[in-house]
Structure 1
């Protein structure tokens, strides 16, 4: 791992495999290759943003603490911008200092092919799905670690309202711009548990 790393490479760090999304000078943005676990976005069915959600708290404490001291020294804390939902204007919340984070919908559109123009110019017939026929959808499909099963996975961006968060559909890789419920809401089985693919900036 080092100066020969390129965008698109798969690397090992800590106990996980990661995919390199971007390289800027001596740091790389990486995301876990697989969905490493399934959790709710928040622990209560209330309006919430990434800044206050329990999934962010977990990633930056309990999950972060799974890394060794040497590995922690390579994880760069960054200031993340959290824009409002482009289609529904729900609040993205304040900027956050994160060591570990989920990608935003903007970052997914930028790094998994380039779909940013479609994000900012929604089609007339789009409501639930972001651009069903986007050629980059298949690039976002992810499997649960250790299985052949695909699953949907969370982004940190707000959904149509702030009891929802944007997600990636498990079968097609479409972006669910309206979002899934952060917890149970009106779902009868109790919890709305989505896939977690942590991302971080790594010192090379």
Structure 2
């Protein structure tokens, strides 16, 4: 209950999102000493020099995505797998891609242990999306781009939503929501955030 109260106090009010987050134990996605801090609302280090986002940011991004039960979702930046696991409780199918093979392997191990069967995790250059699986109802980026990547916008279904941090990697970034309409794209600024940068190509780990 304290975990949910903390999320609500930071603006996560969607009951489906709160229920999904209550059903995913963040500690399962952390290793070593940091697992003991799984319930703190802070980002924490994971493998490959990356981080697991703080729960309130995960909740706000998930809430902004407005995921429905029949949706097909693309996540760019698997990281620990925590965000994908939450999305899996809200969507029909989640595709998640990361440039680090180690992170994808570790996340898949946790998905398997938790019996999550509607996530497809793969290693790849997420900045190009997954054109073979497009279009997507929802797209979520967990790394900051200078602008919403054109290839990802092209893979967003009409009526679809993309949520991503935008800005230079060494400054405060803005979390934005992009809606594709019949006539173009609508943008909303949601909050200030700080994420690792979106990098093209594959990682070395």
TM-score when normalising by structure 1:
0.30
* Higher RCO (Cα < 8 Å, 6 or more apart): 1
TM-score when normalising by structure 2:
0.30
